Structure 1
Amino acid sequence: GSGSFTRSGVNYQAGAKTPMSAIFAAIFLMIVLLLFSNYAAYLPKPAMGGIILLVGYNLIDFHHIKQVVKTSGREIIVLSTTLFGTLFFELETALFSGIALSLFFYLEKTAKPNIAELGMSKNHRFINVIRDSSIKVCPQLKIVRIDGSIYFGALEVVSDYFNNLYEKEEVKHVLIIAKGINFIDLAGATWLSHETYKWQKRGGGIYFAGLKIVSQQILKKGGFREEIGEENFYEDKLTAIDEIYKKLDKNICKDCEAKIFHEC
């Protein structure tokens, strides 16, 4: 009983701070069993059962459960699965079921990163084009923001977007605002290298602005950054636009009515 959840709950409520509390509880329990076992036999089992039920009841965080019910439908499913699992199955089965379900929902969410196309507003700010119909965009440079990691689970969504963009042949240059990219795995780095080469072969390119250093670890260690081109990585979007503008078709720029960049 010294390592049970109820014992941990009692220790926590008593002010325990470290795992040493469980060791002391085990020592005291051993002393009671060795020296006072004859007296412990007279303890009424209903009273002991009531104490255990009370401790178990105090372990339930009703405030957090109310927050889960109000805010997240997926968390309700995880909570319900874990709760009913503890009632009808082994405790380990219930815990692993809840963990597996949480992992499934996490992968499902991260596998669909948000990809927003940006344009220039009247206030000279880059915002999502779906937020305002009056936003102007460059006919030669597509500016997109990726909010999410580029890993094996998200490649289908990201690659489909870029394939559709490539097949439309509306633009040759794509600037990725990469501040929202937290992680790039080996599959994502390989895809970025191939995709960049494909756009460069057509006379354009894919560029990155504001990509976090931590997100570039696989790119650097695997040599993908060199394959993509060191010159295609920029610290911020203004510097990137200034350099990319030099590569645009000036004949198209001459007749362009958007004029969204300072360089135009």
Structure 2
Amino acid sequence: MRLPRPTRATLERNLPILQWGKSYDRDTLTSDLVAAVIVTIMLIPQSLAYALLAGLPPEMGLYASILPLVAYAVFGTSRALAVGPVAVVSLMTAAAVGNLALQGTAEYAAAAITLAFISGLMLTLMGVFRLGFIANFLSHPVIAGFITASGVLIATSQLKHLLGVDAHGHNLPTLLGSILAHLPETNLITLVIGIMATGFLFWVRKGLKPLLLDAGLKPRMADILAKAGPVGAVAVTTLVTWLFGLQNHGVRIVGEVPMGLPPLSLPSFSGEIWSSLFVSALLISIIGFVESVSVAQTLAAKKRQRIIPDQELVGLGTANIAAAISGGYPVTGGFARSVVNFDAGAETPAAGAFTAVGIALAALLLTPLLFFLPKATLAATIIVAVLSLVDFSILKRTWHYSRVDFSAVAATILLTLGFGVEVGVSAGVLISIGLFLYKTSRPHVAEVGLVPGTQHFRNILRHDVQTDPSLVTLRIDESLYFANARYLEDYLYDRVVGDNDIRHVVLMCSAVNEIDMSALESLEEANRRLHEIGITLHLSEVKGPVMDRLQRSHFINDLTGRVFLSQYDAMVALTPNENAA
């Protein structure tokens, strides 16, 4: 039985797999399989490394890279976004659950699973209630500053593994202090492994592919082998550690990694744990969503595709719930991994599902080979990956463009480095909202005049325009709401006080999309006070929806002047004809 069209459309909107699945063919399958192979090679060492960063057993990184990818393939709308553990969310996970239980204990892992479940529930509910617009409240420069500072923190936190020492701390001063205090305990063999692995991985990123192309390999094969660089580092250092028994000389290794598919798990439903993790889960959800949507939109635009932010919330939410029930921890879309997925030719989210199959096979067959893997190699993988996130040029760009934005970015970076990732991301969110309120609380108001020979009005400070001493026209370049209503009221009084020639004031509302109740009360008060000093208040170019609301109030009836269709009509009516000709 065929479904009615509205029902089918609703299903396809809520299950994007039904849209792209209809046209899935052999060529698409081939492209997705090739992309999955490349991303799987990249994701295996990254998954292990990011679990290490989160303070979790390495197998949890693999578990978080299987079922969540399948869930996103069903519910996500981006055809190139690669979901899984990422550096920033791993660091935030460590900060969130670090205060609840001792690192390395079963309670610590259970808290991470619960964090993924809470975050997934939040994201899914936000998607169901169409709250994707929340991404618009986060300033991109502030987020860039937070990610840059997080990259520095992550790289610094991994130095202890390169040195083979114990060091702790969730902010830069304590991390550096702890590392310096333990510096005399450095294990030289570990340091050599770490430095060589780091140097090799940096070289692989840019140097290996050109070398392979010069050797005559085809571009696709050269690309696959270049992406396999981290796997090569893992294989070589593991083999060397096993052959020479370096674990007996102080080199710290991963140890036993359980072999098999992810176990079914349940989050804790303790009210105390939920209340402790709630704020952290919310911050992880917001940062993860913003990062994912930014990447997904960028990649979709390159192929003239589009994503649906509200459905992305559902996709990421179900991915995190899937991580929680399969022994994983919070996941989101990764920038570098998604770019690799896109460049490798992924055509649909099925590439993510095929990647999940690859990771599952690795968990089934390869984990015994990871026993002698040095933690220094995983630390090198993390350092090389996160340093690409560090971009201090954002400070220079914002300094030249906007000192307000520069102050916000600098504050976010300093707070993240100085007080930790949770304080940094909280500050980033508050600063983004504060920036919006600050900028809109002081709306740009321009006094305008008529451009000679036209019906256009421009700023009197920028253009040679016609004005009349009895008429003041103020163009408001912002919607009016509670935060800026008083500013406009004060601006009006400051302009008219002391100028006895003024008889009319016109508020040109061409850029005003909304007037809330607070702003309406300010306009009513301005209308009354201007009338008391013999000045008539008029409006011009009021948009339809704004006018509809004003007509539902008493303001239009009490207005001492008129509402003009255009500013030119207002000038013709309120000034001598020769000035408006």
> Which TM-score band (shorter chain)?
0.7 to 0.9
SS at match of 1:207: strand
Which residue pairs with 2:337 in the alignment? 11
Separation in structure 2 between the aligned mates of residue 21 and residue 79 of structure 1, nearest angstrom: 36
Which residue pairs with 2:580 in the alignment? 261
Which residue pairs with 1:250 in the alignment? none
SS at match of 1:149: coil
Q: Structure 1's 23 and 92: CA in aligned 2 closer, same or farther, altered over 3 A?
A: farther
Which residue pairs with 2:379 in the alignment? 49
State the Cα deviation string for residues 61-115 of structure 1 (Å, max 9, x = none).
5665653344233333322233333333332321121222232233222222232
Q: Which runs of 5 or more residues in structure 1 are unaligned? A: 246-252
Aligned amino acid, residue 213 of structure 1: G
State the Cα deviation string for residues 29-83 of structure 1 (Å, max 9, x = none).
5654455332222223222211111111223356656533442333333222333
In the TM superposition, residue 224 of structure 1 has moved relative to its aligned partner by 4.9
2:488 pairs with 158, 180, 189, which one? 158
Separation in structure 2 between the aligned mates of residue 52 and residue 164 of structure 1, nearest angstrom: 58
State the Cα deviation string for residues 176-217 of structure 1 (Å, max 9, x = none).
222132432211112213323444566653222222335446
SS at match of 1:130: coil
State the Cα deviation string for residues 217-239 of structure 1 (Å, max 9, x = none).
6435x525544559832321122
Which residue pairs with 2:199 in the alignment? none
Q: How many residues align?
A: 249
State the Cα deviation string for residues 104-146 of structure 1 (Å, max 9, x = none).
23322222223222334655664333346x7553233222222
Q: Which runs of 5 or more residues in structure 2 are unaligned? A: 1-60, 65-83, 88-332
Separation in structure 2 between the aligned mates of residue 103 and residue 75 of structure 1, nearest angstrom: 12
Task: Indicate whether 1:58 and 2:139 are aligned.
Answer: no
Please give the TM-score of this superposition, normalised by the length of structure 2: 0.37
Separation in structure 2 between the aligned mates of residue 233 and residue 55 of structure 1, nearest angstrom: 59
SS at match of 1:161: helix
Separation in structure 2 between the aligned mates of residue 57 and residue 9 of structure 1, nearest angstrom: 13
Separation in structure 1 between the aligned mates of residue 350 and residue 530 of structure 2, nearest angstrom: 60
The answer to which structure has the higher helix fraction is 2
In the TM superposition, residue 171 of structure 1 has moved relative to its aligned partner by 2.2
Separation in structure 1 between the aligned mates of residue 418 and residue 357 of structure 2, nearest angstrom: 33
Separation in structure 2 between the aligned mates of residue 31 and residue 145 of structure 1, nearest angstrom: 65
Aligned amino acid, residue 85 of structure 2: S
Separation in structure 2 between the aligned mates of residue 110 and residue 19 of structure 1, nearest angstrom: 40
The answer to which structure has the higher strand fraction is 1
Separation in structure 1 between the aligned mates of residue 435 and residue 535 of structure 2, nearest angstrom: 37
Aligned amino acid, residue 233 of structure 1: V
Separation in structure 1 between the aligned mates of residue 379 and residue 566 of structure 2, nearest angstrom: 64
CA contact (8 A) 1:189 1:218 kept: no
In the TM superposition, residue 158 of structure 1 has moved relative to its aligned partner by 1.2
Q: Structure 1's 191 and 29: CA in aligned 2 closer, same or farther, altered over 3 A?
A: same
Aligned amino acid, residue 422 of structure 2: E
1:190 pairs with 521, 526, 530, which one? 521
Aligned amino acid, residue 440 of structure 2: T
Separation in structure 2 between the aligned mates of residue 19 and residue 93 of structure 1, nearest angstrom: 34
State the Cα deviation string for residues 157-176 of structure 1 (Å, max 9, x = none).
21112223454443232112
Separation in structure 1 between the aligned mates of residue 420 and residue 360 of structure 2, nearest angstrom: 27
1:1-150 paired onto structure 2 within 5 Å: 1=61, 2=64, 3-6=84-87, 8-15=334-341, 32-33=362-363, 35-61=365-391, 67-120=397-450, 126-131=457-462, 136-150=466-480
SS at match of 1:42: coil
CA contact (8 A) 1:173 1:205 kept: yes
SS at match of 1:208: strand
Q: Structure 1's 225 and 96: CA in aligned 2 closer, same or farther, altered over 3 A?
A: same
Aligned amino acid, residue 14 of structure 1: V
Separation in structure 2 between the aligned mates of residue 217 and residue 40 of structure 1, nearest angstrom: 68
In the TM superposition, residue 12 of structure 1 has moved relative to its aligned partner by 1.6
Task: Indicate whether 1:205 and 2:531 are aligned.
Answer: no
Q: More relative contact order in 1 or in 2 (CA 8 Å, sep 6+)? A: 2
CA contact (8 A) 1:193 1:224 kept: no
Separation in structure 2 between the aligned mates of residue 139 and residue 51 of structure 1, nearest angstrom: 70
Worse overlay, 147-156 or 223-232: 223-232
CA contact (8 A) 1:185 1:218 kept: no
Aligned amino acid, residue 337 of structure 2: N
CA contact (8 A) 1:116 1:128 kept: yes
Q: Structure 1's 67 and 233: CA in aligned 2 closer, same or farther, altered over 3 A?
A: same
Aligned amino acid, residue 240 of structure 1: A
Worse overlay, 36-45 or 24-33: 24-33
Which residue pairs with 2:29 in the alignment? none
Aligned amino acid, residue 508 of structure 2: I
CA contact (8 A) 1:184 1:216 kept: no
Separation in structure 1 between the aligned mates of residue 408 and residue 351 of structure 2, nearest angstrom: 31
Aligned amino acid, residue 177 of structure 1: M
